[in-house]
Copies of this chain bind each other. A is one copy, B any other.
Amino acid sequence: MSKTTPHSPSDAEPLPPLAERIRQIVSERVAAGELDDKGQLPSERWLTDHFGLARMTVRKALWQLEAEGFIYRFHRSGWFLSPPRFFYDPTRDVSFTKAVTDQGRRAGAQVLSTRTIAAAPEIAYMLGITPRTPLLIINRLRFIDDRPVFVEVSHVIAYRCPGLADFLGTDVSMATIYERHYGIGLRRREIYLHPTALIDPHARDLRLAHGTPGLFLRRITDDTNGKPFSFDHEYWRHDALEIKINFFDRPTPPIPADPAEDVQT
């Protein structure tokens, strides 16, 4: 809690890196019960004064902790302690809602927009339909415990789900809607996934600053008869998920992140 001495670029630097000092302040407050899960950190200006540094210096350190997934921010409203990552098994999980609730957390959804377009040739080919067949595009924001975690853009073959747009408010789980109203079960066919920067408008929807690191996922889903059913894009916060792939049904204990000091090079 004591004020740290200011330092100029030419000072010797025996202190731990700034990011570690900030991490420690945050950890202390958590331990003291002053900061719970998703709690707000001291402001950048407070940290600036506390450490006697320039604001850009503090911000740089915060960005590192953000890249790590330790803290996150809501655009222009503050820095917060990151909640635990959601475990996602792309080879098994077909319903986000089910996977989230199975992990004891709360899934949410908000429809951002819907519209209908004519299928472009390459999408038509992937989905096994005639080009220009109407596709329903559903743009939804998905939440875990009230934090927006990804934007989902679904391309659904419109004639297979007549009136689908009317059901969107009834249940957060699309999988449940497909099953109850149309008798359609889902299974995955193919997924691509890579880290990238999230830009507007998706960044804005997620309350992220333009250019924040994120994950981009695209996927084809079949129905249980093996017929292509939908084509989706997802834009994830980078700190919201941990991908887990288990190749057998026998459960294994989670792999520890740091079982040994393996960093020695």
Interface residues of A (CB under 8 A from B): 19, 56, 63-65, 67-69, 85, 90-91, 112-113, 115, 117, 120, 122-123, 125-126, 137, 139, 151, 153, 155, 187-197, 199, 201-202, 205, 210-213, 215-216, 218-220, 231, 233, 238-239, 241-248, 252-257, 259-260, 262-265
Contact = CB atoms under 8 A, between A and B. Distances in A.
A244 to B, nearest CB: 5
B196 A68 contact: yes
A75 to B, nearest CB: 15
Given A202-B263, A220-B255, A69 B126 contact: no
Given A64-B211, A67-B196, A90 B245 contact: yes
A180 to B, nearest CB: 25
Contacts of A210: 64
A63 to B, nearest CB: 7
A231 B255 contact: yes
A244 B192 CA distance: 4
Nearest to A256: B122
A233 B257 CA distance: 8
B191 A260 contact: no
A252 B192 contact: no
